[in-house]
Homo-oligomer: A and B are copies of this chain.
């Protein structure tokens, strides 16, 4: 039994971590921090958790935190994470950080897209927590940089084709659509029900979203020459779910069967990837509440492009679920522990 703490429990990622960990048999959730909701039971802050946990939100010092648990999920904003994680590591703890602070290996790229980094010495050590790509490294890591939601959906869709060299990498266009939970739980007019419901829009158009360098980092890991891609995020009037529609030009001669083979090779044994049959495409409502990534594709012979469709629940596979998957690997648990529930539909 491992004692686990959630630092930053009052956001949507925090509550989802708590939801998943409530049913995890091999860990004990021993602390949940929140400055805003300090001293309030977690089941009061998030009434879905009533009767599921007795945990009370606390505002703890680093020492108190370290006394409370052996394993930590840091679900705080970027910049805050880099101030907490080094102390936890110094105290011998294992950490899955759900912020962006340790995802980019190159500090200059980080500082170009975010702000100065105060703990850059950990960037090389941190393992990018996409188990389908870095399972081996994750098992022995003490610091995991849990991937962003958009990057998870896009990289999983592209990796097999990049690895096998089936596509022209500089032609990649990722058109992604996310549920509103991705915008977080802070009170802002743009996230109000009446602003989002019954509507749809793009945002951060033209390569300006901060997930862009993260996606490119992982794409370029497969390539001899780095490329830059187009990535456009959109806001869906749903709470949970990301669907990425990814376009790429096929290399000469590549056909449907070649692509199918790439996916089969790489993902056949993956517990959380579901490859869809030909001419079947994913939908966010079929992965809701689960850690699955559903992937389908279609070769458009008219234009010689492949269109890859990839669906995840952004706060499970795109955040809390993948974080628990990483913990399972780091702690030697069964990979699917706590993540066995089927997606709920409708």
Contact = CB atoms under 8 A, between A and B. Distances in A.
Contact of A199 (B188, B285, B300, B302): B285
Given A192-B185, A193-B193, A228 B302 contact: yes
B201 A230 contact: no
Interface in A51-99: 51-52
Contacts of A247: 173, 175, 230, 247
B51 A241 contact: no
Interface in A254-308: 274, 276, 280-290, 292, 294, 296, 298-300, 302-303, 305, 307
A342 B23 contact: yes
A202 B281 contact: yes
Contact of A197 (B189, B200, B346): B346
Interface string A240-255: 1101010100000000
A287 to B, nearest CB: 7
A154 to B, nearest CB: 14
A283 B200 contact: yes
When all copies of this chain in the complex are counted, the total is 4
A238 B201 CA distance: 12
A19 interface: yes
A238 B194 CA distance: 8
A195 B22 CA distance: 21
A46 interface: yes
Interface in A191-247: 191-203, 205-207, 228-230, 232, 234, 236-241, 243, 245, 247
A115 interface: no
Contact of A237 (B203, B237, B276, B287): B237
A340 B21 CA distance: 12
Contacts of A198: 197-198, 238-241, 285, 288, 346
Contact of A303 (B191, B228, B286): B228
Given A206-B307, A237-B237, A342 B22 contact: yes
A50 interface: yes
12 contacts: A19-B343, A23-B340, A47-B276, A48-B285, A48-B287, A50-B294, A181-B194, A197-B346, A201-B283, A228-B303, A229-B303, A236-B236
